[in-house]
Amino acid sequence: MAEITVAGRYRILREIGRGGMGVVYQVQHLNTGETLALKALLAHTGEQEDILERFKREMRAPALIKSEHVVRITDADVSPELHGALFLVMELLSGCDLDRLLQKRGPFSPEETVWLLGQAARALDKAHAAGIVHRDLKPENLFLHRRSDQGLIVKLLDFGIARLSDRDMGGREAKVTKSGAILGTPMYLSPEQAMGEPEEVGPHSDVWAMGLIAFELLTGKTYFQSDGVTRLIGQICFQPLPPASARGSTLGPGFDRWFEKGCTRDIKARFPSVGAQIAALAETLGLPASLLSNTTAPPSLVSALRSYGNQTDPESTVHDPDGAPVVPPGRDGRTTTSEGRGQSARLLRAPRFVVGILIGLAAISLLALGALLRERTKPPADPGKGHSAAKQPPSERRSGDPTAPTPTPPGDATTATAGKPTAPRDPPPSKPKDEKPGLARKRPVAPPPPRPAKRLGPSSYDPVAP
């Protein structure tokens, strides 16, 4: 591509990733020579208020949290060279996210898992103290970064849908997170998020997601197994939650109890903070509490990162600005080596704009199904009265009986029950229609015995009659 300088100070070196809303470039600051990452909104998305506000909150969140475990934002501006696109500049990470590392090498050891999540917990506790809820925690948003001194640190990514306090958002939170909106990646949604209840979302929602992430890192499998979003939402919100051991964990009953406390639908019964949650995990797994404060990564993680490359290298899978991975041609960045991380995991990690549509449809389907089940199981207002009315001939019914359908003349082609489909005028040949009382004497054979008056209950010609 031709050399482009953004805002007069950032020279674009190459494109790292592109998604439905934005594009990320590797750039060099002309004055300092520092290599950075520049994320710019695509022109057509910059006109959408909700997307613009989410982009702005991604700029603000790191400055509010002030943690080395959150990607550092160094600049934000508007670029005439990119057709007036809004952009932000951040540190360029070297390493790969935990999802990719999990796919390449399999489950993490208990020591590795506690160290990784302990690092993420520091950032999340600071975020929650600042009134910020991430709302989209998943292995892809936990990045194992190699420092310049070759030490490792976990960086928390993607605060684009984080919930900020009204003070920090200037009153714009309600515009971005409307009532009933479902934000986040389906596989890690808490029940309150899946039900579209933004007023119930809080730090406890991130605690739920961290419980699922810990299970996945330790077992190599996702806790929820579903081929579709509708079924997944049903599992999260309504179906019984089996213990971790029933889903593949071999860590014993202690881990089952830890997982149950972090992933219970009762938000008040969850761990009070992510820090307390991971400290309890270390104790459950028999690991020293000092591991949580240790800044030196386990040697096995250093070796793993060295073996599986740098995700921000031009030849490696890179991150889509919308949260989904971008796979260079000829490489399958979604190949998995662990059971339970196949097609369903790929489907349920779709870009958020697709996920939003799918989850919306799933929620509507669940509401419609619930209404239908309630209607079918609702008892009649007066069962005894309705039953007796159905057996009464028209002449014996009271005009004020609410259960009595409107009488239908014998020759009328409509069904006797209101609201039922129109019955055929001529009966099928195999089932001749009962003859009218006045025409019985015209038959060439002996007249049949007297018949009772025709009743107005369900008809044999009514296609919906029982």
Q: Tens digits of per-residue pLDDT, 276-319?
A: 999 999 999 999 999 999 999 999 999 999 887 666 554 433 44
- Domain annotation covers residue 406: no
CATH number at residue 2: 3.30.200.20
Cα separation, 280 vs 192, in Å, equals 24
Place of tokens 């299970």: 215
Residues 75 and 124 in one domain: no
What does the pLDDT read at residue 45?
57
Cβ atoms of 45 and 21 closer than 8 Å: yes
Residues 209 and 245 in one domain: yes
Cα separation, 155 vs 415, in Å, equals 69
**Report field, pTM of the whole predicted structure over 0.75:** no
Residues 17 and 57 in one domain: yes
- Domain stops at, among 64, 92, 120: 92
- Domain stops at, among 341, 371, 401: 371
> The domain containing residue 62 runs over which residues?
1-92
What does the pLDDT read at residue 343?
39
Residues 138 and 212 in one domain: yes
What does the pLDDT read at residue 62?
86
CATH number at residue 173: 1.10.510.10
Cβ atoms of 20 and 351 closer than 8 Å: yes
Q: Which two tokens stand for residue 442?
A: 């015209």
- Domain annotation covers residue 416: no
- Domain stops at, among 92, 107, 133: 92
List the pLDDT tens digit at each of the 466 positions of the chain.
568 899 999 999 999 988 777 899 999 999 999 999 999 987 655 556 777 777 777 778 888 898 999 998 999 888 888 888 889 999 999 999 999 999 999 999 999 999 999 999 999 999 999 999 998 999 999 999 999 888 999 999 988 666 655 444 344 443 344 444 445 578 999 999 999 888 899 999 999 999 999 999 999 999 998 888 899 999 999 999 999 999 999 999 999 999 999 999 999 999 999 999 999 999 999 999 999 999 999 999 999 998 876 665 544 334 444 444 333 333 333 333 334 444 344 444 444 444 555 556 666 666 666 666 666 655 555 544 444 444 444 444 444 444 444 444 444 444 333 444 444 455 555 544 444 444 444 445 555 555 544 444 433 333 333 3
Q: Which residues of 38-77 are buried (b: 16+ CB within 10 A; e: fewer)?
A: bbbbbeebbeeeebebbbbbbbbbbebbebebbbebeebe
- Domain annotation covers residue 34: yes
What does the pLDDT read at residue 305?
92
Q: Which two tokens stand for residue 447?
A: 């007249």
- Domain annotation covers residue 76: yes
- Domain annotation covers residue 426: no
Q: Tens digits of per-residue pLDDT, 133-168?
A: 998 999 999 999 999 888 999 999 988 666 655 444
Residues 331 and 270 in one domain: yes
Of these residues, 97, 99, 125, 136, which one is catalytic?
136
Residues 212 and 120 in one domain: yes
Residues 157 and 216 in one domain: yes
Q: How many domains does the chain divide into?
A: 2
Three-state helix/strand/coil letters over 401-426: CCCCCCCCCCCCCCCCCCCCCCCCCC
Q: Which residues pair with 326 in a beta bridge?
A: 318
Identify whether 99 is a catalytic site residue: no
Residues 226 and 107 in one domain: yes
DSSP 274-301: HHHHHHHHHHHTT--THHHH--SPPHHH
- Domain annotation covers residue 153: yes
Residues 176 and 41 in one domain: no
- Domain annotation covers residue 123: yes
What does the pLDDT read at residue 301?
96
